[in-house]
Structure 1
Amino acid sequence: MIKNRREQFPFHLACAALAGVAFLAGCSSTPIVAPKPTGWIKDEVADSYVFAYPLVLMGTARDAAVGTGPGQAPINTVRHGTALPPVGAHNPPTPGIDTLDSTAWLDVGDEPVIVSLPASPGRYVDARALDMWTNVLWSTTDSQGASRAAGIKAQTVAFAKPDWKGDLPKGVKRIDAPTRNVWLDVRIQTNGAHDLTAVRKVQRGIRVAPLSVYTGDASPASVAPRSLSADTGASGSPADQVAALDAKGFFDRVAQLLPDNPPSPADPHALKFLADLGVQPDDPVELPSTATDAIAGGLADGRARVATPPTNMVMGNGWSWFGDGVGNYGPDYALRAYAAYAQPGIGTKDDEVRASVSLDSDGHALNGANRYVMHFAPKQVPPVRGFWSVTAYTKDGALGESAPAYAAVGDKAGVRRNRDGSIDVTVSSVRQRKAANWLPAPRGDFQLVLRLYAPKPEASDGTWAPPAVVRQ
Structure 2
Amino acid sequence: MIRKSLFSTACASLAGLAVLAGCAASTQPASTQAENHGWIKDEVADSYVYGYPLVLMAMAHNAAVGNGDAQPGQAPANTLRHAQAQPAAGAANPSTPDVDTLASNGWLDLSAEPVVVTLPDARGRYLGARALDMWSNVIWSSAGGANPRAGSAKAQTIAFVAPGWDGTLPKNVQRVDASSVNVWLSVRIQSNGPRDLTAVKKLQRAIRAVPLSVYTGDERGSSMATRGGPADTAPAAAPAARVAALDANGFFNELADALKDNPQSPADPHALKMLADLGVKPGQPVKLPGGAADAIAAGLADGRARIATAPANALTANGWSWLGDDVGRYGNDYALRAYAAYAQPGSGTKDDEVRPTVTVDSGGQQLNGANRYVIHFAAKALPPVRAFWAITAYTPDGALPDTGEARRSIGSRDRLRRNRDGSIDIYVSANSPGKARAENWLPAPDGDFKLVMRLYEPKPEATDGSWQPATVERQ
TM-score by shorter chain over 0.5: yes
TM-superposition CA deviations, 1:6-37 (whole Å, max 9, x none): 563798xx8xxxxxxxxxxxxxxxxxxx9431
2: CA distance, partners of 1:400 / 1:320: 22
Measured after TM superposition, the shift of residue 346 of structure 1 is 1.0
- Which residues of 2 match residues 323-472 of structure 1 at below 5 A? 323-403=324-404, 406-434=407-435, 435=437, 436-472=439-475
2: CA distance, partners of 1:49 / 1:402: 40
Q: Which runs of 5+ in 1 are unaligned?
A: 15-33, 223-234
- Which residues of 2 match residues 182-197 of structure 1 at below 5 A? 182-197=183-198
Check 1:471–1:179 CA distance in 2 against 1; reply closer, same or farther (3 A cut).
same
2: CA distance, partners of 1:405 / 1:373: 18
Measured after TM superposition, the shift of residue 146 of structure 1 is 3.2
TM-superposition CA deviations, 1:409-465 (whole Å, max 9, x none): 101133222221111111111122332411111122111000111111111111111
TM-superposition CA deviations, 1:359-413 (whole Å, max 9, x none): 1101111111111111111111111111000001111111122347511010113
2: CA distance, partners of 1:217 / 1:44: 51
- Matched with 1:3 is 18
Residue 48 (structure 1) aligned with residue 47 (structure 2) = yes
- Matched with 2:279 is 278
1:71 partner amino acid: G
2:249 partner amino acid: K
Superposition TM-score, scaled by structure 1 size = 0.88
2:191 partner amino acid: T
Measured after TM superposition, the shift of residue 60 of structure 1 is 1.3
- Matched with 1:100 is 102
Bigger shift: 56-65 or 354-363? 56-65
1:155 partner amino acid: Q
1:93 partner amino acid: S
**Which residue of 127, 131, 138 maps to 2:140?**
138
Check 1:401–1:88 CA distance in 2 against 1; reply closer, same or farther (3 A cut).
closer
1: CA distance, partners of 2:194 / 2:92: 22
Check 1:89–1:427 CA distance in 2 against 1; reply closer, same or farther (3 A cut).
closer
**Which residue of 78, 83, 92 maps to 2:80?**
78
On the 8 A contact 1:314/1:320 being kept in 2, the answer is: yes
**SS of residue in 2 equivalent to 1:426:** strand
Bigger shift: 445-454 or 402-411? 402-411
1:41 partner amino acid: I
On the 8 A contact 2:106/2:186 being kept in 1, the answer is: yes
- Matched with 2:212 is 211
Runs of 4+ in 1 over 6 A off after TM superposition: 86-90
Check 1:416–1:265 CA distance in 2 against 1; reply closer, same or farther (3 A cut).
farther
Bigger shift: 296-305 or 103-112? 103-112
**SS of residue in 1 equivalent to 2:105:** strand
Q: Pick 1 or 2: higher relative contact order, CA cutoff 8 A, min separation 6.
A: 2
1: CA distance, partners of 2:451 / 2:90: 22
1: CA distance, partners of 2:28 / 2:295: 16
On the 8 A contact 1:102/1:203 being kept in 2, the answer is: yes
1:452 partner amino acid: L
- Which residues of 2 match residues 50-69 of structure 1 at below 5 A? 50-67=49-66, 68-69=70-71
2: CA distance, partners of 1:50 / 1:404: 42
**SS of residue in 1 equivalent to 2:196:** helix
On the 8 A contact 2:117/2:159 being kept in 1, the answer is: yes
Measured after TM superposition, the shift of residue 249 of structure 1 is 0.9
2: CA distance, partners of 1:471 / 1:382: 21
1:318 partner amino acid: G
Check 1:10–1:132 CA distance in 2 against 1; reply closer, same or farther (3 A cut).
closer
- Matched with 1:228 is none
Check 1:247–1:57 CA distance in 2 against 1; reply closer, same or farther (3 A cut).
same
2:79 partner amino acid: T
**SS of residue in 2 equivalent to 1:58:** helix
2: CA distance, partners of 1:210 / 1:256: 26
Measured after TM superposition, the shift of residue 86 of structure 1 is 6.4
**Which residue of 119, 124, 128 maps to 1:122?**
124
1: CA distance, partners of 2:30 / 2:284: 33
2: CA distance, partners of 1:278 / 1:93: 34
TM-superposition CA deviations, 1:203-229 (whole Å, max 9, x none): 00000011122223999569xxxxxxx
Q: Which runs of 5+ in 2 are unaligned?
A: 1-10, 12-16, 20-24, 225-235
2: CA distance, partners of 1:191 / 1:278: 52
TM-superposition CA deviations, 1:241-273 (whole Å, max 9, x none): 111111111111111111211113311100111
TM-superposition CA deviations, 1:319-354 (whole Å, max 9, x none): 111111001000000000001111111111111111
Q: Which has the larger radius of gyration?
A: 1
On the 8 A contact 1:107/1:182 being kept in 2, the answer is: yes
**SS of residue in 2 equivalent to 1:215:** helix
On the 8 A contact 1:98/1:191 being kept in 2, the answer is: yes
- Matched with 1:198 is 199
- Matched with 2:264 is 263
2: CA distance, partners of 1:171 / 1:86: 40
Measured after TM superposition, the shift of residue 122 of structure 1 is 1.8
Check 1:70–1:89 CA distance in 2 against 1; reply closer, same or farther (3 A cut).
farther
